[in-house]
Chain A
Amino acid sequence: MTREAPTQQAPARGAPAGDRWATARLMLVAGSLILAISLGVRHSFGLFLTPMSLDSGWGRETFAFAMAVQNLVWGVAQPVAGLLSDRHGAGRVILGGGVLYAAGLAVMALPQEATLFTLSAGVLIGLGLSGCSFPIIFGAISRAVPADRRSLAMGISMSVGSFGQFAMLPLVLPLIGGIGWSSTLLVLATLAALILPLSLALAEGRDAAARPVGAPEPTGPTARQAIGEALGSRDFWLLSLGFFVCGFQVVFIAVHLPAYLQDQGLPPTVATTVLALIGLLNIAGTYLAGVWGGRHRKPMLLVGIYLARAAAIAAFVMLPATPWSAYAFGVTMGLFWLSTVPLTNEIVAAVFGVRNMAMLGGVVFLAHQIGSFLGGWLGGIAHDRTGSYDAVWWIAIALSVAAAALNAPIRETPLARRQAAGAAA
Chain B
Amino acid sequence: MTGRVVGAIALGLLASLMLVSLFLGYTNPVMTLSLDRLSVCF
Contact = CB atoms under 8 A, between A and B. Distances in A.
Interface of A: 43-50, 63-64, 67, 166-167, 169-171, 173-174, 177, 250-251, 254-256, 258-259, 268-269, 271-273, 275-276, 279-280, 283
A258 B38 contact: yes
B22 interface: yes
A254 B32 CA distance: 15
A272 B33 CA distance: 10
B19 interface: yes
B32 A272 contact: yes
A50 B42 contact: no
Nearest to A252: B42
21 contacts: A43-B41, A46-B38, A46-B39, A46-B40, A49-B36, A50-B36, A64-B40, A166-B22, A167-B22, A169-B25, A169-B31, A170-B26, A171-B22, A173-B30, A177-B30, A250-B42, A258-B36, A268-B33, A272-B32, A272-B38, A273-B27
Contacts of B26: 169-170, 272-273, 275-276, 279
A74 to B, nearest CB: 13
Interface in B11-37: 19, 22-28, 30-37
B11 to A, nearest CB: 14
B9 to A, nearest CB: 19
A268 B32 contact: yes
Given A46-B41, A63-B40, A276-B26, 4 more contacts: A50-B34, A64-B40, A254-B41, A256-B39
Nearest to B23: A276
B38 to A, nearest CB: 5
A255 B39 contact: yes
Contacts of A254: 39, 41-42
A43 B31 CA distance: 14
B19 to A, nearest CB: 6
A273 B29 CA distance: 11
B35 A258 contact: yes
Contacts of B28: 170
Given A166-B22, A276-B26, A280-B23, A173 B39 contact: no
Given A177-B30, A269-B27, A45 B40 contact: yes
A174 B30 contact: yes
Nearest to A64: B40
A365 B34 CA distance: 29
Given A43-B42, A170-B25, A280-B19, A50 B37 contact: yes
B27 A275 contact: no
B42 A169 contact: no
* Most chain B beta-carbon contacts within 10 A, residue among A64, A173, A279: A173
Contact of B37 (A49, A177, A271, A280): A49
B15 to A, nearest CB: 10
Contacts of A45: 40-41
